[in-house]
């Protein structure tokens, strides 16, 4: 340990005591896209005791431009991001205990994973999921670090349940997902700048140096050369439905979601049946329809102008359409 | 004079990163609807507002000399 | 290309034209430590046409805490950093042309490599080398991006020959290397924050968007939550010996350096003979002294309380001492 | 009153990130030697100085109300 983490222990706010704390903590990273993979790499290198990685997606060619940890081989083999991340992280530091889950983040799927979590890092790509997390982590009293980015811009903010304003206090209404990476693009340094802030805040929490935590919200634009902080103390609302005195947790729904959804800006629809699927049986049935690609985690095939990807947990991605109707028609033709 | 900083896609839609408006006093909400009139393309509905680097509510007053920043939450990750 | 770089081409300041430019440019990264490996990963993912990587060192366990691209396997096999970086970068993007050099950066070794270089990224770890680069790149009119970090702090500044103040203009005297990563430690987010600035500036230069370049010097401290910029226009000195009207290039020495030096804070001395070494012959001679580790790039062995690492180019690192006298004694005992 | 921002290891050696000195006018060089007297541990020799976020030379004047930042170059990489 002494040699491997020596440069981190020389850093006084961490020191040997801090390193021991880091080695015994458990961080959950929600999302293994750009923010998730880079935060995971930082924390694995820093020696965090345990990482839980959650992602519903698999590695695609257009991810490689900004998503650390992944290679062309992962694209070729269509490896789920959480699985590919775990594999690479163990090559970097096999002392870290890593749990990787290929699943959709819902309260039902997340609650069992929150048991001994010290911090959650937000690496999701939409505000629906973030507002659900905001409720969930307030309820379970787990600090988390919001981060988001698009283009050359990004933002970060550290949320301590019952102490700081929550994400809902800052947002009068859930933002429309106007600007996403899939609509206006992104450059990798914007990712890293957010990650630099998120990992630093995570390290402060892990070594229990609460006095050093950032209390403002950071916004930046690297291409246009600005960096702005906003003091948010005033934003805490007494009657906030998430962090107020009588919370109703409006974005926390306990139901199993079986609804289908358009993945914004990706020309893709996700269909959820809520039933587990035996991919090998499905392959036996579909092999006469089109050439099948199958690995331990998913089955994919091209059909007409679409690409379908089936996961164990009953989710199917239909790439090539933004129409839920159309996607369902295709889905039922093949797997119905 | 009120100085206005525009972030993320607002900057692009307005075509510059900063504006100055000759105003003595105005609330956050009023300023938003003034700007909405001048720049119909921008959407200030879910934007966060900072006045002199502090979070501001809809009915907070802005005075001449203040710097207002409009910060649209971005969602990617 | 369209799919792989789609998110980057959607970013308007790059677009399709910018991507084509990036694909045809050549960047030299001087140093493959923390700043170098992360900048190299960004630029390889972004699709830069060619990368030249230069580093004199090999991967050690204490590097893994913050140096992207490297794994436990690289430590185990004592792979030189430039070589290990190249291997990983090709797994990420085999379309990038990569030249990797294991060598000491001197004017003699660098000049032949500057031929068609569009930009140099500073990823060195000391001001002696930076001031040499400052002379060299001013002479050869190549823009470069200064970056440095230590603890939770860092700085970055973009230098355009004949246009901006040079590094010498900003520094009245060469800073004493008081605070290095080896003396006061470092956390990985400080690295990434510098890299985010360096890579962004590199992308602006690659797509020839000079108007967007940062004209100030950035300093930050992530643990103490500050970010400060300094406008440096006034710093340009007419009689600067590097970028002034009659430059004397005071830090550019054409001699082959054969001097030995203490590697600051690392308890290591480097001896340079200036003569190439046949490692296999050396192994044949030294195998009776101690167990030898040898790979294509270096030979290492433990001797008394020291570890010696011999490179092809005539350099030897003697770990375990800060005394040049002592190091030379050991060196001549074994290889003299 | 002159506000002084201390960066990197200066912050640690002085024990706080900011100082305020009751001074009307002083040059950069004079301010450095004043501080050197109060805090003998710090080394301001190779430090860069910014006054109100602009690079400043040794004989530039600092006035009451200005903010001075001392920025020690760090060398790691």
Considering only alpha carbons, which residue of chain C is nearest residue D60? C234
The model's pLDDT over B3-33, given as tens digits with 9 standing for 90+, comes to 999 988 888 889 888 999 998 899 999 999 9
Q: What gap in Å lies between CA A74 and CA A65, rounded to an integer?
A: 13
Coil/strand/helix, residue C236: coil
Interface of A with C in 203-242 (CB under 8 A): 203-204, 212, 214, 216, 222-225, 227, 229
The pair of three-digit structure tokens given for residue D63, joined into one six-digit string: 């006035």
Question: Which residue on chain B is closest to A183 by alpha carbon?
Answer: B76
Query: Given its phi and psi angles, is residue A274 left (phi above 0), alpha (psi -120 to 50 degrees) or beta?
Result: left
Residue A121 region by backbone torsions, left for phi larger than 0, else alpha for psi between -120 and 50, else beta: beta
Q: Which chains touch D (3 or more CB pairs under 8 A)?
A: C
Phi, psi of C154 (to 5 degrees): -170, 170
Q: How many angstroms separate the CA of residue A141 from the nearest CA in chain B?
A: 24
Of B8, B45, B50, the CB nearest to A153: B8
Over residues D4-29, the mean pLDDT reads 90
pLDDT at A179: 67
Q: Is residue B15 in a domain?
A: yes
Helix, strand, coil shares, percent, chain A, to 5: 35, 25, 40
CA pair distance B27, A257, nearest whole angstrom: 41
| CB-neighbour burial class of residue D29 (10 A; exposed 0-12, middle 13-18, buried 19+) | middle
Looking at the domain assignment, is residue B36 inside a domain?
A: yes
Q: Are A214 and A205 in contact (CB under 8 A)?
A: no
The CA dihedral of A292, A295, A296, A297, to the nearest 10 degrees, is -80
Q: From the CA of C247, how many Å to the nearest CA of chain A?
A: 31
Q: What is the 3-state secondary structure (H, E, C) of A41-72?
A: HHHHHHCCCEEEEEECCECCHHHCCCCCCCCH
Q: Choose the mutation target among A223, A227, A319 for the interface with C, i.e. most C CBs under 10 Å.
A: A223
Task: For chain A, list the strands marked E by DSSP.
Answer: 26-30, 50-55, 97-102, 119-122, 144-150, 153-159, 216-221, 226-231, 261-263, 268-272, 292-294, 298-303, 306-311, 315-319
CATH topology of domain A261-335: TATA-Binding Protein (3.30.310)
Cβ–Cβ below 8 Å for A192 and C192: yes
CA-to-CA distance for C184 and A91, rounded, in angstroms?
27
Concatenated DSSP letters of A283-311: HHHHTTTS-EEE-SSEEEEEETTEEEEEE
173-192 in chain C: CB under 8 A from chain A:
181-190, 192
For A79-111, the pLDDT digits (tens) are: 999 999 999 999 999 999 999 999 999 888 999
**In angstroms, what CA-CA distances link C40 with A148, A259, C109, C122, D75?**
23, 42, 20, 11, 20
User: How many structural domains does chain D have?
Assistant: 1
Cβ atoms A71, A91 nearer than 8 A: no
pLDDT in tens, A322-336: 888 899 889 988 887
A210: tokens are: 């609460």
> Please, what is the Cα angle at B47 between B43 and B48, to 5 degrees?
160
What pLDDT score does C288 carry?
87
- What percent of chain D is modeled with pLDDT above 70? 100
Distance of alpha carbon A223 from alpha carbon A219, whole angstroms: 13
Is the Cα dihedral B4, B6, B10, B11 positive or negative?
positive
For residue A195, what pLDDT is reported?
98
On the question of pLDDT at A174 being above 80, the answer is no
Chain B residues 22-61 with a CB less than 8 Å from chain A: 43, 45-46, 48, 50, 53-58
Cβ pair A272, A258 in contact under 8 A: yes
Span A117-125, mean pLDDT? Answer: 97
Is domain C6-235 classified as CATH 3.20.20.80? no
The DSSP line for C129-191 is: HHHHHHHHHHHTT--EEEEEEEBTEEEEEEE-TTTS--HHHH-SSPPP--S-HHHH-B-HHHH
Residues of D in contact with C147 (CB under 8 A): 77
How far apart CA A13 and CA C143 sit, in angstroms, is 36
Instruction: Decide if D72 touches C, using CB distance below 8 A.
Output: yes
Best C145, C152, C175 member to test D by mutation, with max D CBs in 10 Å, is C175
D and C adjacent (3 or more CB pairs under 8 angstroms) = yes
Q: Residue D66 falls within a domain, yes or no?
A: yes
**How many whole angstroms separate alpha carbon C33 and alpha carbon D76?**
10
Which residue range(s) make up the domain with B10? 2-71
What local confidence, expressed as pLDDT, does residue C1 receive? 54
Chains B and D touch (3+ CB pairs under 8 A): no
* Distance between CA atoms of residues A180 and A178, nearest Å: 6
Spell out which residues of chain C touch residue D53, defining contact as CB-CB under 8 Å. Answer: 216, 228-231
Which residues are CB-neighbours of A113 under 8 A, at least 6 positions away?
A: A28, A52, A54, A99, A101
Q: What is d(CA A74, CA A6) in angstroms, rounded to the nearest whole number?
A: 32
Contact A211, A201 (CB under 8 A): no
Instruction: Measure the CA–CA gap between A299 and A310, rounded to whole angstroms.
Output: 5
pLDDT at A144: 98
Give the percent of chain D with pLDDT over 90. 71
**Which distant-in-sequence residues (6+ apart) come within 8 Å of A333 by Cβ?**
none
- CA-based radius of gyration for chain D: 12
On the CB side of A55, CA atoms within 13 Å amount to: 28
Chain A residues within 8 A of B57 when measuring between CB atoms: 234
Alpha-carbon gap, residue A33 to A186, rounded angstroms: 12
Tokens of D43: 């080394």
Question: Is residue B14 assigned to a domain?
Answer: yes
Q: Where are the domains of chain A?
A: 6-235, 261-335
What's the pLDDT tens digit per position in A254-281?
A: 554 567 787 766 889 998 887 888 999 9
Q: Do C153 and D5 touch (CB under 8 A)?
A: no
CB contacts, 8 Å: A36 with chain B: 77
| Chain B neighbors of A179, CB-CB under 8 A | 8-9, 72, 74-76
In the prediction, which pLDDT does C254 show?
53
**CA-wise closest residue to C120 among C175, C180, C39:** C39
A:C CB pairs within 8 Å: 188
Chains that touch C (3 or more CB pairs under 8 A): A, D
Q: How far is it, in rounded angstroms, from Cα C156 to Cα C229?
A: 10
| pLDDT over threshold 90, residue A152 | yes
**Is D76 a member of any domain?**
no
Q: Which two tokens stand for residue C22?
A: 């990036």
Q: Is D25 part of a structural domain of the chain?
A: yes
Contacts of B17 in chain A (CB under 8 A): 224, 226
> Which residues from A are below 8 Å from C214, CB to CB?
225
- A1 in C contact zone (CB under 8 Å): no
The chains found to touch A (3+ Cβ pairs under 8 angstroms) are B, C
Nearest chain A CA: its distance from B8 CA (Å):
6
**pLDDT at A178 (0 to 100):** 58
pLDDT (tens place) for every residue of chain C, 336 residues total = 569 999 999 999 999 999 999 999 999 999 999 999 999 999 999 999 999 999 999 999 999 999 999 999 999 999 999 999 999 999 999 999 999 999 999 888 999 999 999 999 999 998 989 999 999 999 999 999 999 999 999 999 999 999 999 999 999 776 765 566 677 899 999 999 999 999 999 999 999 999 999 999 999 999 999 999 999 999 999 999 999 999 999 887 655 456 778 776 688 999 888 788 899 999 998 988 889 999 999 999 999 999 999 998 889 999 999 888 899 888 988 887
pLDDT of residue B12: 82
Q: What is the CATH number of the domain that holds B65?
A: 3.10.20.30
- Is C230:D70 a contact under the CB 8 Å cutoff? no
Strands (E), D1-77: 2-6, 18-21, 25-27, 48-51, 54-55, 61-63, 67-71
């Amino acid at each position: 340990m002494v040699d491997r983490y020596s440069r981190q222990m020389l850093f006084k706010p961490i020191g040997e005591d801090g390193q021991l704390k880091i080695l015994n903590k458990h961080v959950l990273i929600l999302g293994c896209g750009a923010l998730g993979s880079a935060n995971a790499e930082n924390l694995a290198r820093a020696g965090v005791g345990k990482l839980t990685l959650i992602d519903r997606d698999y590695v695609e060619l257009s991810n490689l431009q900004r998503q650390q940890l992944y290679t062309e081989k992962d694209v070729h083999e269509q490896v789920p991001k959480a699985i590919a991340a775990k594999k690479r992280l163990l090559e970097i530091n096999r002392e870290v205990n890593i749990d990787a889950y290929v699943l959709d983040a819902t309260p039902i799927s997340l609650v069992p994973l929150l048991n001994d979590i010290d911090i959650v890092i937000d690496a999701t790509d939409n505000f629906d999921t973030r507002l659900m997390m905001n409720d969930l982590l307030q309820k379970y009293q787990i600090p988390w670090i919001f981060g988001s980015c698009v283009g050359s811009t990004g933002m970060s903010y550290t949320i301590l349940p019952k102490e700081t304003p929550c994400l809902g206090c800052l947002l009068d209404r859930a933002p429309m997902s106007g600007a996403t990476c899939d609509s206006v693009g992104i450059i990798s340094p914007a990712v890293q700048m957010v990650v630099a802030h998120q990992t630093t805040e995570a390290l402060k929490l892990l070594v229990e140096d609460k006095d050093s935590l950032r209390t403002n919200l950071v916004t930046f634009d690297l291409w246009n050369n600005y960096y702005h902080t906003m003091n948010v103390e005033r934003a805490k609302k007494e009657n906030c439905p998430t962090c107020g005195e009588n919370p109703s947790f409006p974005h926390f729904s306990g139901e199993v979601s079986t609804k289908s959804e358009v993945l914004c800006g990706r020309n893709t629809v996700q269909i959820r049946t809520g039933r587990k699927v035996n991919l090998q049986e499905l392959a036996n049935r579909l092999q006469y329809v089109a050439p099948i690609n199958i690995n331990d985690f998913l089955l994919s095939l091209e059909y007409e102008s679409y690409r379908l990807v089936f996961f164990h947990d009953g989710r199917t991605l239909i790439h090539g359409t933004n129409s839920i109707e159309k996607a369902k028609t295709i889905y039922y033709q093949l797997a119905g | 004079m009120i100085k206005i900083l525009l972030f993320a896609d607002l900057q692009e839609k307005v075509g510059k990163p900063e504006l100055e408006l000759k105003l003595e006093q105005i609330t956050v909400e009023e300023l938003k609807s003034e700007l909405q009139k001048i720049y119909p393309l921008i959407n200030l509905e879910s934007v966060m507002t900072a006045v002199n680097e502090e979070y501001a509510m809809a009915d907070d007053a802005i005075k001449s000399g203040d710097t207002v920043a409009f910060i649209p939450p971005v969602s990617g990750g």
